[in-house]
Amino acid sequence: MSTMGAMVIRSHGGPEVLEWAELPRPVPVRDEVSVRVEACGLNHLDLWTRRGLPARPVELPHVLGNEPVGIVEGRGPEAAAVAPEIEVGRRVVVAPGYLERFHADRSGWEAGSPDYRVIGHQSPGGYGEYVTARAENVIPVSDRWSAEEWAATPLVFLTAWHMLVGRARLRPAETVLVVAAGSGVGSSAVQIAKHFGCRVIATAGTEEKLARARALGADEAVSHHDEEWPRTVRKLTGSRRGVDVVVEHVGEAVFSQAVTVLAYGGRLVTCGATTGPAARIDLTHLFAKQISLLGSYMGDHHELREVLALLSAGHLRPVVDRVFPIREAAAAHRRMEASEHFGKIVLRHGSAG
């Protein structure tokens, strides 16, 4: 039996539980393809899975990694009929979200399906040297970006696209507040909002990150460590009008203040709660200003293809903070936990490029 190297967790805990191991190399069956992983993006979901989620136990040892990018090296006997464009030797992005069973009709909200899964969370992911996926769930990518750059895109751009376009129904010329623009989702949201011709106000925690948010396209940047940041945001909108859309995934630390910066009829869309889920709001803001609070989770396959096409055309671009060799995954986790990054931390297998 062929084997592969992988960073695995055998128990839940801190970054120290990550260890290098030899595992059986996965073999593609039926409509699957085998991908030799070149690089994989790091996400907060990796941290949560590593620490352990009581509601979502994983079989140990487990291979993390939600954003594998690599080269197709093998195909199951039915793969060519399902996706003839997925040829051996092609560089592909493995979709971070997938349906466990084949669905002939994928026109609905896939992320709402009871058999929607996330690679690296509910199945082995990109911390291994090889990964298998159904051919319909891998997408060929161009040579515009390197493997490491492509690995900085799928989950975060899909999440930000679904938040702004799928849920908030973003319209041109609106004003958008992106909370924590230094995160993968935040840096993606800044670009997507600018692509739609919107005015963007970004928050970040350091002067360096504020400058990088402006360089990425944000029209204004405000420190969210300043207790007066909501008032500053409202002033920036003129006559304290407020913003049309808030994009946020921080949760408890900012949620109640973020609601107060919304304009009449504004929408707040959230996809996470990195500082905790126990958010409180003043309900008078909700009903008196007819505000909409929207939850968002991942996104659909057609949205992923749409946003990857924009990246391939150069309308959007990956934001890579730092690339770590896969065996230094623990150091990469510590960097994310310390919020030292701007954009995406990426893990590299071998000599990806």
Beta strands 116-118 and 97-99: pairing type?
A: antiparallel
In this prediction, residue 158 carries a pLDDT of 97
In which band, very low, low, confident or very high, does the pLDDT at 112 lie, cut at 50, 70 and 90? confident
* Alpha-carbon distances of 118 from 80, 125, 165, 293, 305, rounded to whole Å: 24, 9, 21, 25, 17
Structure confidence at residue 103 (pLDDT): 66
Q: How far is CA 115 from CA 110, 122, 164, 306, in A?
A: 9, 11, 24, 23
State residue 277's pLDDT score. 87
DSSP E strands in the chain: the ranges are 3-9, 18-24, 32-41, 67-75, 91-94, 97-99, 116-118, 130-134, 138-140, 175-178, 199-204, 220-223, 243-248, 262-270, 292-295, 320-325, 344-348
Nearest to 271 by CA among 230, 292, 299: 299
The span from the CA of 31 to the CA of 76, in Å, is 5
Euclidean distance between CA atoms 273 and 328, whole angstroms: 26
Residues 226-259: pLDDT tens digits? 999 999 999 999 867 899 999 999 888 889 999 9
Residue 266 has pLDDT above 50, yes or no: yes
- Its pTM stands at 0.94
Taking 80 as the threshold, does the pLDDT of residue 192 lie above it?
A: yes
pLDDT value at position 100?
80
pLDDT per residue as tens digits for the range 82-109: 899 999 999 999 999 998 876 666 666 7
Q: Can you give the pLDDT at residue 353?
A: 46
| CATH class assigned to 3-153+318-348 | alpha beta
**Does residue 120 carry a pLDDT above 70?**
yes
Measure Cα distances from 164 to 81, 148, 233 in Å: 35, 25, 19
- Given a cut of 60, whether residue 15 has pLDDT beyond it is yes
Cα(136)–Cα(126) distance, rounded to whole angstroms? 18
pLDDT digits (tens, 9 = 90+) for 302-346: 999 999 999 999 999 999 999 999 999 999 999 999 999 999 999
**Residues 11, 33: contact at Cβ < 8 Å?**
no
Dump the DSSP string for 214-235: HHHT-SEEEETTSTTHHHHHHH
Quote the mean pLDDT of the chain. Answer: 94
What are the pLDDT digits (tens) for 38-71? 999 999 999 999 999 888 889 999 999 999 999 9
> Distance of CA 351 to CAs 5, 36, 173, 289, 324, Å?
15, 12, 43, 54, 12
Q: Is 176 exposed, middle or buried (0-12, 13-18, 19+ CB in 10 A)?
A: buried
Kindly list the domain boundaries of the chain, sorted by start residue: 3-153+318-348, 157-295
CATH (residue range 157-295): 3.90.180.10
Which DSSP category does 119 fall into?
B
Pairing of strands 32-41, 116-118: unpaired
Q: Are β-strands 116-118 and 262-270 bridged in parallel, bridged antiparallel, or unpaired?
A: unpaired
Q: How far is CA 39 from CA 77, 130, 293, in A?
A: 26, 11, 35
- Smallest CA-to-CA distance from 309 within 153, 99, 111, 106 is with 153
Q: Which amino acid is at 276?
A: G
Residue 349: is its pLDDT beyond 70? yes
Same CATH fold, 157-295 and 3-153+318-348?
Answer: yes
pLDDT score of 104: 62
